Amino acid sequence: MTTTINTTAAATTSYRTADRSTRDDIRSMPNVLRSEWIKLSSVRSNKAVLGLTVAAGGFVAWAVATLVSDEVQTVSQVFIFSTVLTGVFAAVAGILLFSSEAQHGTLATALTAQPARWVIVAAKTLMAAVFGAVLGAAGMATGFGGALLGGLAMGDTSAMAATALWALLFTALSAMLGLGVGMIVRHSSGAISALLVWGLVVENLLTLFLSEQVSRFLPFVAGNNLLGIDADGAFAQSAVTALTRTEDAFVFGTYAAAALIIGTILLYRRDTN
């Protein structure tokens, strides 16, 4: 009788289902990050986005330096101008980081290799933020060079470092927002079209009809204001109603976080195909 019980217990132990703990999920993070980095660095679209960012940064700064003559411009002002476009490029890259996998059927494989979906979301979010910051740095570097080639003087450089840091935050958050939109829509063309129409058309129209007290809370109005550019459209309002950069960062970051949260919930509820 004793032998029978021990054999049964041993068989039960042998076929016990393995449980995955949160600690196991956390330990798997380096491997998931490595996988996401390989995807990010090997996809040709990301290289194209980086190339466009570099080209746009240099060209915009050079064009402003050589063609704008109705006001005095300096390198310390112009080097940041192309970052508005860089934010758009970063958002597109963030969208493709998820939607390309969902459309080409590789998402199911990734989720099979790593069943903890929050780990994949965390890894993609980190990769999106890093790539967005890299795009921001590349655009500002070529913008700096383009402004110098255009013959501009350096001007007051005391605020350049702070402006560059806020710009890096803007491009990183833009990529995270794009990732969230991609997770929600799951279709590259649809997500990119929706983001471009909203950011480049709808918000500029809304600023014409909404009061400044309301329009300052629009996502790309708040995001663009992190750059400190004085321009019409989706940029800073009057000094009375304009938010501080910290407040703008909170508003824009809230939109990015909301998109990621909604996208994560949908990732858990939707079928992987």
pLDDT tens, 111-152?
777 778 888 999 999 999 999 999 999 999 999 999 999 999
Of 61, 107, 102, which is closest to residue 84 (Cα–Cα)?
61
- Mean pLDDT value of segment 23-32: 80
Structure-token pair, residue 217:
């809370």
Domain boundaries, the chain: 26-269
pLDDT at 232: 57
pLDDT at 149: 93
Quote the CA–CA distance of 241 and 14 in Å, as a whole number: 67
Of 163, 198, 161, 162, which is closest to residue 177 (Cα–Cα)?
198
Structure-token pair, residue 43:
């996809």
pLDDT at 126: 95
Compute the half-sphere exposure of residue 267: CA atoms within 13 Å on the CB side of its CA: 28
Is residue 260 within 8 A of residue 122, CB to CB? The reply is: no
> Which whole-number Å values give the CA distances from 150 to 28, 61, 153, in the listed order?
49, 8, 9
Of 231, 81, 73, which is closest to residue 143 (Cα–Cα)?
81
Give the whole-number percent of the chain exceeding pLDDT 90. Answer: 52
pLDDT at 15: 47
Quote the CA–CA distance of 169 and 230 in Å, as a whole number: 19
pLDDT surpassing 70 at residue 19: no
pLDDT at 144: 95
Structure-token pair, residue 94:
């963030």
pLDDT at 35: 86
pLDDT at 208: 85
- Residue 170: band (very low, low, confident or very high) from pLDDT cuts 50, 70, 90: very high
pLDDT at 237: 57
Give the whole-number percent of the chain exceeding pLDDT 70. Answer: 87
pLDDT at 273: 58
- Residue 5: band (very low, low, confident or very high) from pLDDT cuts 50, 70, 90: very low
pLDDT at 254: 97
Name the one residue in this structure whose structure tokens are 């795009």: 135
Range 116-120 contact pairs with CB under 8 angstroms and sequence separation of 24 or more: 116/20, 116/25, 116/28, 117/264, 117/267, 117/268, 118/25, 118/264, 119/25, 119/26, 119/28, 119/29, 119/32, 120/32
Quote the CA–CA distance of 81 and 65 in Å, as a whole number: 11
Q: Residue 201 gets which letter from DSSP?
A: I
pLDDT at 129: 96
Cα dihedral 216, 224, 37, 92, rounded to 10, equals: 90
Name which residue leads in pLDDT, 73 or 263.
Answer: 263
pLDDT at 12: 47
pLDDT surpassing 80 at residue 14: no
Secondary element (H or E) of residue 121 = helix 117-149
pLDDT at 243: 85
- Mean pLDDT value of segment 215-236: 79
pLDDT surpassing 90 at residue 239: no
pLDDT at 42: 83
Name which residue leads in pLDDT, 26 or 273.
Answer: 26
Structure-token pair, residue 164:
């560059």
